[in-house]
Amino acid sequence: MGRKVAVVGIGHSKFGVRNDVNIAELAWESIKQAFESANLEAKDIEYVSVSNVGGWSGEPLPAVVVSEYAGLTGKPLYRVEAACASGSSAVYNAYNAVSSGQVDIAMAVGVEKMNESPTPTVVEFIGRAGNYFWEFENFGLTFPGYYALYATAYMSKYGATEEDLCQVAIKNHYYASFNPKAQFQRKIDLPTCMNSRYIAWPLKLFDASPITDGSAAVILASEEVAKKLTDSPVWIHSVGAASGSANLSKRNDFTGLEAANIAAKMAYKKAGLESENTAKFFDVAEVHDCFTIAEIMAYEDLGFVKRGEGYKLVKEGQTYIGGLIPVNLSGGLKAKGHPIGATGVSMVAELSKQLLNKADKGRQATIKNGRAIAHNVGGTGHYAYVTILGLDKPKD
Amino acid sequence: MPKSQREEAIEALKQMESFANTMKSSIGLPMIVDPKTNVAIWYDQRELTLKFMISVEKTRKFFESLSEGKLLATKCVKTGEILFPPQVDCPSSLDSNVEWIELPKDGELTTYTIITTKPFSFSHYNDYTVGIAKLSNGVQVLAWVRETDPKKLRIGMKVKLEIVKREPEGYLTYEFVPV
């Protein structure tokens, strides 16, 4: 299983339209906070993994630009891409570097500047994220469109309604209102969501995460080093990773994301947990709600509830604080924002804060089990990462 | 007539460009101040058009058969697996022993969506429906569905594949038509 790895530093920028900074300045906001919280400097970092999808932003080699700006020039450096799960792949990449014994201290930085291009160009780039030649070139799918294919199938099979989907948006906007880092710090009601225009039927504007600029960073350390750095490490208990077909036409089922389910089972197995009825293991979850339907499928793919029960969970308020399992207390991708390459790193940073009882007032989960789970999906189930974090040192 | 999404997008860019040009003639820099955020933005002076040259040599037969009204897939001879989109290599038998087969035209809709907010390069079209249908031999195909009223669409409905000319570009592709 390799060496034990702990999160010893975290950083998180304000998410939103960040025309006030360039990509390196944006990344630095998070890197600086991560250095400060870990009480480390650039010279201590032995390995740097930068997640960025790009295309819509000017710098084609963002890792080197960010690294130079942050005084990290000279370190082993990677830019990793797993679409919207790039951030988790950067964390996993850094985790593997420490776990394998290659280095003692590694950093994962996620950054995305989507607002450097006009919205239709961004819609174009994300729409191409699948199999470009066979599913975009002739048929012009959009990212909401891909998830709408799942929403149509899910709603038809289980009887979920557009109102049920909107409940996810309402919850996540509610928690984002307590998160100063969130893109949308305002609550919404059901009519606001229901009256918003269709972008890809049956999904509406308020079913969708926004176009976001933002960054996040985490510093990971080996057990020996972590002990010296902090009294309150957050341990990475396990990471599960999987992938799905590029062409959506090659999938058998459109009511769940198979890759996310495989990644979840892998993460549970590595952490020694059962893979059914799993909500009880965790105090809090961050799941990939790029669209409202995605959060509902996540509940099921993660085994919180059985197939077809996910929409009832949010309808009954079971994913608010005090319910079965609080989900996306950061506001989620939906309202905190979704700077594609930063999202996965943001999830790990957020859950570390939650576990250490350092989340903002109004959105702090009650920590009893000392365990949290992050679910990060790239593309439309093209990539999936499930990361389990905990306050207890992982078992040998 | 309301503006198409393409016209809106182009207009917004032109407006940015004219701001930048004004600034260039006044302060000598393409620096514009975003009216929403009140921050300075450099209006990029380099422009890139993306158009890719994608090889279809190995799957040429698929495209050439469209003009004969046929939609082809490949079949791995050793395993019997049918591949669509067609591919000429069989990873499971580690060979390139494939035969071309014609796909049946009739199928049932697996799922669908109606795209209203379009990508830039599709912004000149009216709203369109994208669906995935399972053909009678079990192969799934993704294509446009010639019906944009959600009330007239449902999962499981019968559809037929048609080879059509996509306008205004004027090239052959395929689409589902409700039966």
The type of residue at A100 is S
Query: B123 to chain A: nearest residue by CA?
Result: A120
First-to-last CA distance in chain A?
8
Contacts of A119 in chain B (CB under 8 A): 9
A254 touches B110 (CB < 8 A): yes
Q: Which two tokens stand for residue B120?
A: 């830039």
Whether B8 shows a pLDDT value over 90: the answer reads no
Contact B137/A at CB under 8 A: no
Of A173, A237, A338, A382, the catalytic one is: A338
CATH superfamily of domain region A5-118+211-229 = Thiolase/Chalcone synthase (3.40.47.10)
**Residue from the list A120, A133, A249 with its beta carbon closest to the beta carbon of B119:** A120
Q: Average the pLDDT over A196-211 and give the result.
A: 98
Inspect the interface and report whether the beta carbons of B120 and A120 lie closer than 8 Å.
yes
The yes-or-no answer on residue A375 being catalytic is no
Where residue B12 falls among pLDDT bands split at 50, 70, 90?
confident
Domain-by-domain residue ranges, chain A?
5-118+211-229
The per-residue pLDDT for B173 is 98
Q: Which two tokens stand for residue A350?
A: 């957020």
The per-residue pLDDT for B34 is 81
* Cβ neighbours, 10 Å, residue B81: 14
Strands B98-102 and B128-135 come out as: unpaired
The per-residue pLDDT for A30 is 98
Contact B135/A at CB under 8 A: no
Q: Average the pLDDT over A312-334 and give the result.
A: 98
Where residue B9 falls among pLDDT bands split at 50, 70, 90?
confident
pLDDT tens readout for residues B101-159: 999 999 999 999 999 999 999 999 999 999 999 999 999 999 999 999 999 999 999 99
Q: Tell me how close the Cα of A156 comes to any Cα of chain B, in angstroms.
A: 7
Q: Average the pLDDT over A278-294 and give the result.
A: 98
The per-residue pLDDT for B3 is 78
Q: Average the pLDDT over B74-86 and give the result.
A: 97
Is A155 exposed, middle or buried (CB count within 10 Å of its CB: 0-12, 13-18, 19+)? buried
Whether A1 shows a pLDDT value over 90: the answer reads no
- Three-state DSSP at A121 gives helix
What is the interface size between A and B, counted as CB pairs within 8 Å?
115
pLDDT tens readout for residues A373-384: 999 999 999 999
Q: Which two tokens stand for residue A192?
A: 């606001």
List, as ranges, residues 125-144 from A with C-beta within 8 Å of B: 127-128, 131, 133-136, 138-142, 144
Residue A226: left if φ>0, alpha if ψ -120 to 50, beta else—which one? alpha
Q: How far apart are CA B31 and CA A116, in angstroms?
A: 14
Q: Average the pLDDT over B83-91 and give the result.
A: 97
Domain-by-domain residue ranges, chain B?
5-42, 51-103, 104-179
The per-residue pLDDT for B1 is 60
Is B60 exposed, middle or buried (CB count within 10 Å of its CB: 0-12, 13-18, 19+)? exposed
The per-residue pLDDT for A331 is 98
Q: Which two tokens stand for residue A27?
A: 């990344």
- Three-state DSSP at B18 gives helix
**Residue from the list A20, A138, A153 with its beta carbon closest to the beta carbon of B155:** A153
Tell me what the pLDDT averaged over chain A comes to: 97
Q: How far apart are CA A88 and CA A333, in angstroms?
A: 14
* Cβ neighbours, 10 Å, residue B179: 10
B78 touches B97 (CB < 8 A): yes
Contacts of B123 in chain A (CB under 8 A): 120
Four-point Cα dihedral A340, A344, A347, A352, nearest 10: -140
Whether A191 shows a pLDDT value over 80: the answer reads yes
Tell me what the pLDDT averaged over chain B comes to: 95
The type of residue at B39 is V
| Phi, psi of A86, rounded to the nearest 5 degrees | -55, -40
Supply the angle between the helices A292-301 and A162-176 in degrees, to the nearest 10: 90
Is B111 exposed, middle or buried (CB count within 10 Å of its CB: 0-12, 13-18, 19+)? buried
Query: Is B104-179 a CATH 2.40.50.840 domain?
Result: yes
Contact B121/A at CB under 8 A: yes
List, as ranges, residues 43-102 from B with C-beta within 8 Å of A: 44, 54, 84-85
Question: What is the three-state SS of A311-374?
Answer: HHHHHCCCCCCCCCCCECCCCHHHHCCCCCCCHHHHHHHHHHHHHCCCCCCCCCCCCCCCEEEE
For an interface test with B, give the residue of A14, A115, A117, A138 to mutate (most B CBs within 10 A): A138
